[in-house]
Amino acid sequence: MPQEQELNKQDALIAHNKQTGESGVVTGIKQDGTPEMADPAKAAQFLTFDRHADMIDNFMRNFMAQCKNPSTFGFFKVPADQVPTVGFAVNQMVKDTESPGAKDMLASYEVKMPENQEQEQKEVKTQTPETPQTEQHPRHQQIDESKINWADLASWGVTKDSIGEQNLKNMLNNRMSDLVKVTTSLGNEKFEVDARLSLHQNPDGSVKVTPHFIRQEPNLNQEFHGVKFSAEDKSMLKNTGNLGRVIDLKDASGNVVPCFVSIDRKTNELIALPTSSLYIRDKIGETDLTPKEIGLLKSGKQLQKEVTLKDGKSFTTVLQVSAAEQKVEFVPAHARLNNQVAQEQKETQGEKIEQKTPGNWLDANGQIKPIGKWKGVEFNEQQKADYVAGKTIKVDGVPDGKGMPSTIYIRFNPEKQRPYTYSSNPDTAKVITPAEESKTQVAVNSQGKTNEATKNLKEPLEQGQTQPKPEQKKKGQKL
């Protein structure tokens, strides 16, 4: 088994043979292409997959190529460090999918089989995706509380009192509750997990309770209601929680519906909200919104605005439509576009980011876009080729904080999806320090530091300079 400190960054797979009923955590692949499985509660070793890589997708494609009947198997992704607990619960549920809550919980962990182009084209013609969240029930159509089946809620270990008055009010207005404890039973075993609850009115007038379980992370690589997210879309969702634009999605009938899309910050579920289901008022607190500002919010973009609340408190904030909350939200500080660069600079401890808008450094196919210069310094052909290949390039003569030429290193950061600049070669230096010929210059010009020899100078230092020049000597200053 991998070391414990590594498990919290990895996932494992629970496999289920639908024909034989056999299930367990995947420990390998047999010669016939079928997965080897072991009891999650007892397994000493099992396969793990890097959570931020495409290793699971590659495994699934290899499995489909090797296995004669891949459709007889189902797979479910669980955190590797929770295989004995969550993995055990999932393993039990696949054996009894009719137990209360099993189908909904399994859906949140299920790994979809990758499909080839021919299958995808066939799928478009024969199937329709699940209806986007809240599509059939706009906010203004309140649910009748008398039609709630409280016995249905009791099967989840939830009562009217345990939900709370505010949560119930949100649910009746087609919003989700806050996180509540939900209990599901499998045989003699009971499992308690956190979930948000929502109510949905069926065509016959009855009301269904739907739990929204916490996911490890949203799956942005899968098709979402007929749409594949671009690299820019994925970056925007990861960084802000909202797509930042209105997108056309397909409903259960195949109709195209303009929607807002967001990641639920509490469950990591991907939520779609039809634009027709949201009414944006012309007032936030005591602050009026202009038609132009309302139009900006309706387009899904962020709006910076000084807001005054009813209690008289005023502050500058950022507003944006949240599909998950079905309203205009106050965007958290870390998710505001104008704070992205500053936050990432702090996290990278000195690595500098030169672009604020995510996603502009990749083409439509997700490949690195070529660039020909940096701060006015032209690249040669080798530098251009190396940059596009993802290599680090050394660039001389780039202006520093005081406009003096210095040496920097540039490399495309695949995680942040933008170029980063470094003071020293990141391929060879673990500790970020300036290039030797620019060390003093960068410290004095860009970082505001001083050294004894040059502390009285007012002029910026040049590349390689560590001492005052004769013409810079001041009265009373010793060289």
What's the pLDDT tens digit per position in 239-289? 899 999 999 998 877 888 899 999 998 888 898 999 888 888 888 888 999
Q: Is the pLDDT of residue 211 over 50?
A: yes
CA distances from 447 to 28, 421, 441 (A): 53, 15, 9
pLDDT at 444 over 60: no
Phi, psi of 470 (to 5 degrees): -55, -40
The contacts of residue 38 (CB under 8 Å, 6+ apart) are: 24, 25, 27, 45, 46
d(CA 171, CA 145): 10
Phi then psi for residue 317, to 5 deg, are -140, 180
pTM value? 0.45
Q: Three-class SS of residue 412? A: strand
| pLDDT for res 187 | 55
Most confident region among 55-69, 338-352, 403-417 by mean pLDDT: 403-417
Give Cα separations from 292 to 288, 289, 303, 338 (angstroms). Answer: 12, 8, 11, 20
* Residue 150 confidence class, pLDDT cut points 50, 70, 90: confident
Give dist(CA 66, CA 97) in Å, integer: 27
CB 228 within 8 A of CB 300: no
Q: Identity (one letter) of the amino acid at 165?
A: E
Q: Where are the domains of the chain?
A: 4-114, 148-213, 231-332, 338-445
Going by the DSSP 8-state scheme, the letter that residue 224 receives in this structure is B
Confidence of residue 321 (pLDDT cuts 50, 70, 90): very high
Asked if residue 196 lies in contact with residue 211, where contact means CB atoms within 8 angstroms, the answer is yes
Task: Give the single-character DSSP code of 33.
Answer: S
Burial class from Cβ neighbours inside 10 Å (0-12, 13-18, 19+) for residue 400 reads: buried
Q: What is the pLDDT of residues 350-376, one digit of tens each?
A: 444 444 444 468 776 778 888 888 888
Show contacts of 430-434: CB within 8 Å, 24+ apart: 432/349, 432/350, 432/351
Say how many CA atoms lie within 13 Å of 463 toward its Cβ. Answer: 16
Ramachandran category for residue 28: left, alpha or beta (phi over 0 → left; psi -120 to 50 → alpha) = left
- pLDDT-above-70 percentage for the chain: 73
